[in-house]
Chain A
C-alpha cells in the first residue's frame, strides 16, 4: 500500500477521533500529541488505521513512531 494512501487513512481517522481538528494541521511532520491526542485518542487512531488496512502490528513497535511520517512508514512496512 502506498504511503500516501496510509496517510489519508490516518488523516481520516484523526478527524473522526477529534472532529474539531483543522484538516490542514494534519501533516506528515506533526505528532499525534501535538494535534491534541491524548493516550486514548492515539490508541484509537492507530487501531482504527490497522483495522482499515487489515493488519496487526505489535504494540511495542509504535513506541518508536514519534511523528505521523514514522507512523505511516511503520504501517507501510507491515503491508509489504
Chain B
C-alpha cells in the first residue's frame, strides 16, 4: 500500500564536491581532539569558489525536476528558496533557480528567511496550499540552500558547519513522506543566539543557542501534544529526525525529552537513541550543518539507513536561531526508500574529493567573498575541474563563472 494524502513527493540533497576530514580541521586549528566524540563529525562538505547558494539549489533540485514529465513540471506553481545566504537584498535566489531549472513562468517565485527553520515554514505552507484544493494537482518546490561563512573565530562550530542544499517537491502524491496534516507544534520568540549581520561573517552565542534549541524542542512537542490525542514521545514515533547543527546536540535534545516525557533511565535513553535517532545522523556526520536543509538531510539519512520494513512514523524537529521552531510528523514506507535510492546520496557523498587543511584554508578566503556584493567578479571554474570530474557520473552540474554588473552568471560543467 502506498502513502496517501499530502507530503513530500520527491527529495534530494546536494552536499558539494569537496570534503574536509574533521580530524584534519581539528589539528589544523589546534582544537582539542577529545571533543571530537562530542561533535560526532567525520567530515564536512566544503564549498568550491565556483559554488554559491544558487548552484547548490539547482544541483539539489535538478534530479527531481528531470524526473518529471512536462505537464508535471509545469504543475509546479510555487518555488520557494529558503536561505540565510541571500545573494541580493531585493532579488531572491529563487529568481535564478527558477530560470536555471526551466520551470513554468506561471509560478510564484520567492525566498524565505528564518535561519535554520525557514524551509520547514515553507514546506508547511506549501503542504497547506496543496491540500486547500484551490488549484487541484498543484505542486510546490521548496529548496533550502546555504553556504558556510565560519572560520577559526567559530571555534568548535567550524568543524560542524556544512555546505549544500536540500530540495523537496510537495504534492498530493507523497511517495517519500505523507505528512500528518494538522499535527504540529510551534514555538518562537526573539533572541540573539546566532545571526549573520554581514555577507561574510556569522556571530554566535553558543550557550544561548543550545538553550534555545533545547527549550524549543520541549515547547514545540508540548504544543504538538495539545493538537494530537494520545501522543507518547517514546512510542508514537518509530524514528526521529531532528535539526542537526551537530549530533551531540541532537543527543542532548533526545535525552531531555525522554527524561521529561518517558522518565527513561540512562540505559533506556541510550538504547532508544541508537534505535530511533542514529540512522538520521549518518549523513549529517559526513556533511555538517546544512542550515534549514539540515533536518531534511537527517530525514534522507533516516530513509536510506533505518531498518524499517513497513510504514513508520517519523517525528521531525526544525529549529532556526532568532528563533523559530516546529515539531511535526509524517509517515514513510518501503516506497520512500525506493524513491530516495534513485538519488544515490551515499554514493555522491563518497565521491566528494578530500581537501587538506592547507587547501581548505586557502579556499576559505575566497569562499567568504561568495555573498559580498561587488559589480564584477570572475571565477575560474577550470581550477576546480578535478572536483567535477570525480562526480562526472552525476551529469552536468551548475557552476558560478562570475558576476557582471551585479548579475550572477552560471554555466554547466
Contact = CB atoms under 8 A, between A and B. Distances in A.
Contact of A59 (B212, B248, B260): B212
A40 B248 contact: yes
Contact of A39 (B207, B215, B255, B260): B207
B38 A47 contact: no
A46 B215 CA distance: 10
B208 interface: yes
A59 B208 contact: yes
B208 A39 contact: no
- What is the predominant secondary structure among interface residues of chain A facing chain B? helix
A59 B207 contact: yes
Interface string B290-320: 0000000000000000000000000000000
B206 interface: yes
A60 B208 contact: yes
Contacts of A63: 207
B193 A51 contact: no
A42 B199 CA distance: 32
B249 A40 contact: yes
Contacts of B211: 43, 46-47, 59, 62
Nearest to A17: B255
Contacts of A16: 259
B218 A40 contact: no
Contacts of B260: 51
B208 A40 contact: no
Contacts of B191: 58-59
Contacts, number: 44
Interface in A5-55: 16, 19, 38-44, 46-48, 51
B207 A44 contact: no
B266 A44 contact: no
**Residue from A41, A44, A46, A51 with most neighbouring chain B CB atoms (10 Å):** A44
A73 to B, nearest CB: 18
A19 B210 contact: no
A51 B210 CA distance: 16
A16 B263 CA distance: 11
A47 B214 contact: yes
Given A16-B259, A19-B266, A63-B207, A44 B214 contact: yes
Interface of A: 16, 19, 38-44, 46-48, 51, 58-60, 62-63
Given A43-B252, A46-B211, A59-B212, 16 more contacts: A38-B38, A39-B206, A39-B210, A40-B210, A40-B249, A40-B252, A42-B207, A43-B207, A43-B210, A43-B211, A44-B214, A44-B252, A44-B256, A47-B214, A58-B191, A59-B211
27 contacts: A16-B259, A19-B266, A39-B206, A39-B207, A39-B210, A40-B38, A40-B210, A40-B248, A40-B249, A41-B252, A43-B207, A43-B252, A44-B256, A47-B211, A47-B214, A47-B215, A47-B218, A47-B256, A48-B256, A51-B218, A51-B260, A59-B191, A59-B193, A59-B208, A59-B212, A60-B205, A62-B211
Interface of B: 38, 191, 193, 205-208, 210-212, 214-215, 218, 248-249, 252, 255-256, 259-260, 266
